[in-house]
Chains A and B, each alone.
Chain A
Amino acid sequence: MTATGRVAARDQDAAPPARPRRREGRLRRVAVPALAVFGMLAAWQAIVVGFRVPRFIAPSPLQVLEVLRTQHDLLLDNAWPTLLETLAGFAVGNVIAVLIAIGFVHNRVFRQSVYPLAVTLRTLPIVAISPIIVLMLGLGFTSKVAIAALITFFPTLVNMADGLDAVDPQALELMHVLSASRWEIFRYLRWPTSLPYLFSALRIATTAALLGAIIAEWIGSNRGLGYLILAATYDYRTPLLYATMAVASGLALALFGLVSLIERYAIPWRQTSGPSES
């Protein structure tokens, strides 16, 4: 910010003006959504109490909070395996997707043969493929990771392939004039260009990976948040079901936030120009 101010002051070429940062802006960004969430919870509580909704149909927020407090050991024991499956699936799916996308930009035949396969794979519903994967890989950790990986794979592949291709044609001409090798074009141009695309995909992939892990646990598991959701539903322990969903949602938000945080450090140039920040 200070640098921008200095630039504008020194040269009359009219640099983009530094926008004055408003203190209240930050407070408002936090306060408004917080109030909205609180208001929604209060309304929910009022409706459940006011209309005397039975707790096995819809528990009140306070009842859910009570379960989160008293049964946090149970929830935590089941959150761990799901988190591990999610992280492993996230890593495997994204690494494979990025590598294939890199292959796409460097080999036309590879792209033409693999891209349609990837699209076809995507059209198959994940709930239909998952039992097949469990059948092949068994009921253990591996099949869960595979399903989580599969669900994250496609968005990252498409985004990354687009990102690596999103280079300015004139920048490619510049690289040609400099006699840059393919590796140098990748390293200095394509890879940094693709990073904003990659991180958009990774943010989607966090929630997708968690969803994949939970679906995998539905198919066959005796632990994990997916298992807990099924068990709670069958037993009409609805407050526990809601608490489990709250934990799953919290996990997804935490992962999403973590990726967004890493993004800020990985793509610092985005903030100096992007209208989204500051």
Chain B
Amino acid sequence: METLPARDERAPGAAAGDGGPAIVADRVHMSFDQHGRPLHVLSEVSLTVRQGEFIALLGPSGCGKSTLLRLVADILQPTRGTITVLGGTPAEARRERALGFVFQQPVLLPWLSAEENVALPLRIGGWGRRHAPAATPAELLQLVGLDGFNRARPAQLSGGMQQRVSIARALVSNPKILLMDEPFGALDAITRDRLNEELLRIWSTVRCTVLFVTHSITEAVYLPNRVVVLSPRPARIQRVVEIDLPYPRQPAMKDTPRFTEYTSTLRAALEEA
């Protein structure tokens, strides 16, 4: 997508910490109240994510990966510990629309067209009137490979296409951080592989920080710069693995010895946990 202008055009002073880390989690502990007894979900999680980095959070189902993502998005607040997003609180980052969230389900509004769904964040709070978007909803649909489907209703789109729309929607307010909660977990393997390619292509265009929750080991090696392996509940950081494979990544890399070495490392880390 050559039409997208360069990023980082924020007014000076906005979103402190340009050049600083995107996300810092400091001894974050999270427990929910379950029938009067605390259910510990996260325990002593400390993590620093650099700006522009692609991080995969890998762990068994129900271990608290999604909870960590929701703490960064200010959907939940930690029981103990602090989370810093772009030098401020998660709430500040949320209000500045520095965060884009892609859910496991597309969560599209069925009464709106694809383009209107992408434009929804611009309508809310009058954001679109006050900020010039880096790319229009139509351009973003083009970016995610849905050119020509602007007026299609969600029900007319396949699951994979719906998830593309939801990625475009997350990008429309030009976020610095993209939070993705097992976005391709509900899709078939073929569609999933293709959307992995698309995601890397989109990331190479928009260059934002990505925090990507997954329970697929292949995804966790193929996509990110670094993988954070979480233990079962209460989740602790079991291991952090740097994936030293060059971008742009090619599907053929999945058959190389380096790749399989990484997958075995991650599998071992998960089993240890």
Whether both chains belong to one complex is answered with yes
What is the interface of chain A, defined by CB distance below 8 A to chain B? 3-4, 7, 10-11, 13-16, 168, 170-171, 173-181, 184, 188-189, 192, 267-269, 272-273
Residues on B with beta carbons closer than 8 Å to the beta carbon of A178: 97, 120-121, 124-125
Q: What's the interface size class on B, roughly?
A: 20 to 34
Q: Is the Cβ of A171 less than 8 Å from the Cβ of B107?
A: yes
Q: What is the 8 Å Cβ interface bit string for chain B, positions 142-169, against chain A (1 contact, 0 not)?
A: 0000001101110111111100000000
Q: Is the Cβ of B125 less than 8 Å from the Cβ of A177?
A: no
Decide yes or no whether B39 CB sits under 8 A from chain A.
Answer: no
Which chain A residue shows the least CB distance to B148?
A10
Residues on B with beta carbons closer than 8 Å to the beta carbon of A11: 158, 160-161
Report the bound CA distance from A11 to B156 in whole Å.
12
Residues on B with beta carbons closer than 8 Å to the beta carbon of A179: 94-95, 97, 124-125
Q: Is the Cβ of A173 less than 8 Å from the Cβ of B155?
A: no
Please tell me which one of the listed residues A13, A177, A267 contacts residue B101 in the complex, with CB atoms under 8 A apart: A177
Residues on A with beta carbons closer than 8 Å to the beta carbon of B74: 176-177
Minimum distance in angstroms from A238 CB to a CB of chain B: 50
23 residue pairs bridging A and B, Cβ less than 8 Å apart: A3-B151, A7-B158, A11-B158, A11-B161, A13-B158, A14-B158, A15-B161, A16-B156, A168-B105, A168-B107, A170-B103, A170-B107, A173-B70, A174-B107, A176-B94, A177-B74, A177-B101, A179-B95, A180-B125, A188-B123, A188-B124, A189-B109, A273-B153
Q: Is the Cβ of B124 less than 8 Å from the Cβ of A180?
A: yes
Residues on B with beta carbons closer than 8 Å to the beta carbon of A174: 101, 103, 107
Decide yes or no whether B1 CB sits under 8 A from chain A.
Answer: no
**Other A-B pairs beyond A171-B109, A272-B155, 10, CB < 8 Å:** A7-B161, A11-B158, A173-B70, A174-B101, A174-B103, A181-B125, A188-B109, A188-B120, A192-B111, A267-B111
Which chain A residue shows the least CB distance to B123?
A188
Residues on A with beta carbons closer than 8 Å to the beta carbon of B120: 178, 188
Q: Is the Cβ of B125 less than 8 Å from the Cβ of A184?
A: yes
Q: A170-B103, A173-B101, A177-B75 are in contact. Are A16 and B158 (CB under 8 A)?
A: yes
Which chain B residue shows the least CB distance to A8?
B158
Minimum distance in angstroms from A163 CB to a CB of chain B: 14
Which chain A residue shows the least CB distance to B159?
A13
Q: Is the Cβ of B149 less than 8 Å from the Cβ of A7?
A: yes
Minimum distance in angstroms from B158 CB to a CB of chain A: 4
Closest 7 CB pairs of A and B: A273-B155, A13-B158, A13-B160, A15-B158, A269-B111, A272-B155, A177-B101
Which chain B residue shows the least CB distance to A7?
B156
Report the bound CA distance from A3 to B124 in whole Å.
28
Residues on A with beta carbons closer than 8 Å to the beta carbon of B155: 16, 269, 272-273
Please tell me which one of the listed residues A14, A180, A269 contacts residue B110 in the complex, with CB atoms under 8 A apart: A269
Which chain B residue shows the least CB distance to A274?
B155
Interface centre among A7, A11, A177 (most CB of B within 10 A): A177
Q: Is the Cβ of A177 less than 8 Å from the Cβ of B73?
A: yes
Decide yes or no whether B99 CB sits under 8 A from chain A.
Answer: yes
Report the bound CA distance from A273 to B153 in whole Å.
9
Decide yes or no whether B260 CB sits under 8 A from chain A.
Answer: no
Residues on A with beta carbons closer than 8 Å to the beta carbon of B103: 170, 173-174
Q: Is the Cβ of A272 less than 8 Å from the Cβ of B125?
A: no
Residues on B with beta carbons closer than 8 Å to the beta carbon of A192: 109, 111
Residues on A with beta carbons closer than 8 Å to the beta carbon of B148: 10
Report the bound CA distance from A229 to B95 in whole Å.
64
Decide yes or no whether B61 CB sits under 8 A from chain A.
Answer: no
